Chain A
């Protein structure tokens, strides 16, 4: 499953790893599609009893506030509702928005691990 935008890519490998890369500042309607995509991925994970989702954001250079909301609410907080699912987020110390925003996700999901490199 993947979404190819004009300046970004979202790719789930079907086995527990999702990579989001590029620059994401999409129009509101486009975020609705991404919302649905995250719902579908979490449904698939739940059905296949996958115990860990790795979310690789290391090459997501830019993300606007609507994008932060979409990832936080429709992926991170929604993953918290999938029983027994552990979420690992891979981040980059070199990307400012990640350093500023991602640590705040920590209180919004119990089974969450954030790794900066």
Chain B
């Protein structure tokens, strides 16, 4: 197909390479099959459920880290999938989790409109290039305040928020002729300090 290409941002690990996992789960949400209010509420419950259920499978000292971080990471990633999802098509958000050694890998696959990809790519590279994530958070807050004064809404804070929890991010964007499949990977380290 014309214009097909893949873009990798950050240290992306292909899901197929995770065959050494200890536990894995997949949650699939058909975004348009339920109304947006119900979907938003179910997103919170799904994310909290992932945190609660996965906390059961790790050693006790890692329970709290999994429970709180996974809940928060899943909320941000599902919200982004909805915000940047292709609203003109019925689409399924896929949430794939793999526990390997001391790392929990969270993949969210989403179909997106190609028009929003440049913004996503720029935002992703800015976050990965930043050496001071809290500094970037403050910068985003100042930008959000300036945008509010102009009557706009701007934050792009979700990915920054994820990184502030000592979670690494990477992306794979597969572009087809008119749509793109965006896979966001969050790597939650479970190594105890």
Contact = CB atoms under 8 A, between A and B. Distances in A.
Contact of B165 (A23, A26, A35, A100): A100
Interface stretch (B72-80, B89-97, B119-127): B72-80
B161 A65 contact: yes
Nearest to B37: A27
B155 A69 contact: yes
Interface residues of B, number: 32
B164 A101 contact: yes
A68 B44 contact: no
Interface string B142-178: 1011001000010101101100110000000000000
A64 B141 contact: no
Interface in A60-108: 62, 64-66, 68-69, 72-74, 77, 96-97, 100-101, 104, 107-108
Interface-central residue, A25, A28, A68, A101, by most chain B CB under 10 Å: A25
A107 B40 contact: no
B44 A69 contact: no
B120 to A, nearest CB: 16
Contacts of A7: 44
Nearest to A6: B41
Contacts of A35: 148
Contacts of A66: 79, 155, 157-158
B71 interface: yes
A26 B79 CA distance: 10
Contacts of B64: 96
Contacts of A96: 64, 68-69, 72, 165
B26 interface: no
B138 interface: yes
Interface in B39-57: 40-41, 43-44, 48
A77 B141 contact: yes
Interface string A25-38: 11110000001000
A13 B158 CA distance: 31
A113 B36 CA distance: 38
A46 to B, nearest CB: 17
A108 B141 CA distance: 8
B44 A25 contact: yes
A12 B140 CA distance: 27
Contacts of B148: 35, 73-74
A58 B168 CA distance: 28
B32 interface: no
Given A68-B157, A69-B140, A73-B141, 6 more contacts: A64-B72, A64-B158, A73-B144, A96-B69, A96-B72, A101-B164
10 contacts: A25-B44, A64-B72, A64-B79, A65-B155, A68-B157, A69-B141, A73-B144, A73-B148, A101-B137, A104-B138
